[in-house]
Structure 1
Amino acid sequence: MKTLLNVIWLVFGGFWLALGYFAAGILCCVLIITIPWGIASFRIAGYALWPFCRTVVDKPGGTGIASTLGNVIWILVAGIWIVIGHITTAVAMAITIIGIPLAIANIKMIPVSLMPLGKEIVPTNQPFVATYR
């Protein structure tokens, strides 16, 4: 069932969403000082391609002051706009019955889109894999 939902997600918006995150990652990496956000954008792009068999967990060992400061800067510059986009898209997807799981996946992406530093994306059958490394 998750594979079917992932294919539907990919066709109805996941590809374009991932492409946007990938483009943002390239832009951030070109600007050198924003490379941490670029790497996070690439991570989110992979999550946006195939979200139904993965979940987001905190990285082991805490986030630290650098990640917290980076997340605050991200929220002010881009995070809030990305969240508004996810919410708007989720509302549009939830109009149809078949779009409800896709809307839920869009809402599920909000925490990592809002604060991407200090997060790790893991398979849903191993949600605690990050804590055992």
Structure 2
Amino acid sequence: MRLIGNIVWLIFGGFLMGIAWWLAALLCSVTLIGIPWAIAAFRIGTFSFWPFGRRVVDRPEGAVAGTFSALGNLIWAVLFGWWLAVGHLVSAVACAATIIGIPFALQHLKLAGLSFFPYGKDIEPIV
């Protein structure tokens, strides 16, 4: 069932939003300072292509790492997060127009929230 969900997901906006995440990652990787953002964006972009059967969890961090994650998320949200969130929100509205698309709209809404806070997150399989 996860395979079918992921294939339909690619059609209902997952492919375009995954490309958008990877484009943001490529833009971040142009500079040496942006490489940590690029790594996080590639990780979330890969999740955006194939989300069913996996989930996003908070990474356990110490106080110093948590501070850097918060600062990184703030910078990310200002530069890239807002337009990725808008893309996911538009996709969610389009998916919610049909009853079949409601689970996909909910996934887009989860990714819209993640668009602002990609640092400090890990992706793990659901068993």
TM-score, shorter chain, exceeding 0.5:
yes
Instruction: Compute the displacement of 1:91 (Å).
Output: 1.0
Instruction: Compute the displacement of 1:122 (Å).
Output: 0.9
Instruction: Compute the displacement of 1:14 (Å).
Output: 1.4
The aligned residue for residue 2 of structure 1 is 2
Moved over 6 A (4+): none
Instruction: Compute the displacement of 1:81 (Å).
Output: 2.5
Unaligned runs of at least 5 residues, structure 2: none
Instruction: Compute the displacement of 1:109 (Å).
Output: 1.2
Q: How many residues align?
A: 125
* TM-score (ref. length: structure 1): 0.85
The aligned residue for residue 70 of structure 2 is 68
Alignment RMSD: 1.4
Match for 1:113: what amino acid?
S
The aligned residue for residue 11 of structure 1 is 11
Match for 1:7: what amino acid?
I
Instruction: Give a deviation string over 1:18-43, Cα, whole Å, max 9, x none.
Output: 11211211121112211111011100
Instruction: Compute the displacement of 1:111 (Å).
Output: 3.0
- Contact 2:20/2:84, CA 8 A, preserved across alignment: no
- Contact 2:17/2:87, CA 8 A, preserved across alignment: no
Distance 1:61 1:24 in 2: 25
Match for 2:24: what amino acid?
A
Identical-residue share of aligned pairs (%): 47
Matches within 5 A, 1:88-99: 88-99=90-101
Match for 2:11: what amino acid?
V
Instruction: Give a deviation string over 1:52-85, Cα, whole Å, max 9, x none.
Output: 1111111122442111111111122221222222
